[in-house]
Amino acid sequence: MYLICNSLLILQNNSLPVSVTLIASELLVSDGQKIESGEPITSGPKNPHEILRIQGVEEVQTYLVNEVQTVYRSQGVHIHDKHIEVILKQMLRKVRIENAGESGLLPGELLDKFDFEELNGKMLSENKEPAEAIPVLLGVTRASLVTDSFLAAASFQETARVLTEAAVNGSVDQLSGLKENVIIGRLIPARMDKSPEGLALLGIDKERDSNGVTGLTGMTQAPATFEEALAAIASDDDTGSNKDSGSSDDLLGLLSNENEDIAEKESSEELNLENVLNIEEDIDSEVNEETDSNEKSE
**Amino acid 213: pLDDT:** 45
In a domain, 236, yes or no: no
Please report whether residue 8 resides in a domain. yes
What is the DSSP secondary-structure string of 44-84? Answer: S---HHHHHHHT-HHHHHHHHHHHHHHHHHHTT----HHHH
Whether 262 is covered by a domain: the verdict is: no
DSSP calls for 238-296: HHHHHHHHHHHHHHHHHHHHHHHHHHHHHHHHHHHHHHHHHHHHHHHHHHHHHHHHHHH
Look at the alpha carbons of 62, 68, 73, 79 in this order and tell me if their dihedral is positive or negative. Answer: negative
Q: What is the pLDDT of residues 171-203, one digit of tens each?
A: 888 888 888 888 888 888 777 766 777 777 777
pLDDT of residue 43: 79
Q: Indicate whether 281 belongs to any domain.
A: no
C-alpha separations of 82 from 65, 87, 146, 232 in Å: 9, 9, 23, 36
Dihedral-angle region of residue 278 (phi above 0 means left; psi in -120 to 50 means alpha; beta otherwise): alpha
Residue 218 lies in a domain: yes
Helices 81-91 and 57-74: angle between axes, nearest 10 degrees: 140
φ and ψ of 3, to 5 deg: -105, 120
Cα distance between residue 60 and residue 137, in whole Å: 9
Structure confidence by residue, pLDDT tens digits, 88-99: 998 898 999 998
Residue segments in the chain with a per-residue pLDDT below the cut of 50: 2-6, 207-220, 222
The pLDDT of residue 206 is 58
Q: Is residue 210 part of a domain?
A: yes
Q: How far apart are CA 296 and CA 161, in angstroms?
A: 112
Domain range for residue 220? 149-156+169-230
pLDDT of residue 199: 75
Final residue belonging to a domain, choices 179, 209, 230:
230
Last residue of some domain: 179, 202, 230? Answer: 230
In a domain, 31, yes or no: yes
d(CA 281, CA 272): 14
Dihedral in degrees, nearest 10, Cα atoms 66, 71, 76, 81: -30
* Residue 176, φ and ψ in degrees, nearest 5: -95, -15
How many domains are contained in the chain?
2
Is 223 inside any structural domain? yes
pLDDT, position 258: 67
